[in-house]
Amino acid sequence: MRTLIILAHPDINNSTINRRWKQELEKYPEEFIIHELYNEYPDWNIEVEKEQQLLESSEHIIIQFPVYWYSYPPLLKKWMDDVFAYGWAYGKNGNKLVGKKFGLAMSIGDKEENYAPSGSVGFSVDEIIIPFKATTAHIGAIALSYFSLFRASFQISGEEVEQSAKDYIRYILRTKSEERLKVKE
C-alpha cells in the first residue's frame, strides 16, 4: 500500500526544501500519493468527506510542512480541525483513524541548537509537536518519529538539500514498520 503524503506548503513553487522533497517523492509514484492541500483548496473550502475517504484508504500517512511560528501552516490546521471530526475521528463511533500511522516531515527555519532549553527558542522540536502527539493519541492513531531539516531560512547548501531528500525517502520507508513514537527521556 502506498504512503499518503499530506503536503501543506503555502508557496511550494518558491520553496527550496519542501519543493525538493516533493520532487524526490514524485520519482516513486508506486510508493507515494502526494496530496497538496494548498493546491487542492486555494479557497480553503475543504471537502471533508473526500479527505476522510482518502485517510480511510491509507494506513501510513506523512504530513509534510514548513514550521510556521512553531506550529503548522494555517490551512493544515484548518484541515485537521475540519477533517478530524467528532463521530468520525473521535467521540461516539469516531474510530476511523485508530491504528493508522502518522509521521511528520518538517522544514524548520532556525538552527537546531536553538531548539534546546538553552537555545533562543527554548523548546525542543519534541515539545513544539506536542499538539500533534496529543491529537494522534486522542484519535487512537500511532504517532511515528518525525523527520526534519533545520536552517531552512538560512543559506543551506545544495548538497544538504539533496541529501535531505534522499534521507526523507529512507525515513518514510523506515516508518512503515515503526510502531510507536520514541519519546526522548
What domains are defined for the chain? Answer: 3-175 (3.40.50.360)
Q: What confidence score (pLDDT) does residue 124 get?
A: 95
Q: In Å, how far from its chain's centre is CA 165?
A: 15
Q: What is the pLDDT of residue 183?
A: 36
pTM of the model: 0.93
What pLDDT digit, counting tens, does each position of 150-162 carry?
998 888 999 999 9
Asked if residue 108 lies in contact with residue 115, where contact means CB atoms within 8 angstroms, the answer is yes
| Cα 90 to Cα 80: distance, rounded to the nearest angstrom | 12
Q: Which three cell numbers stand for residue 161?
A: 538539500
Average pLDDT of the segment spanning 24-33: 96
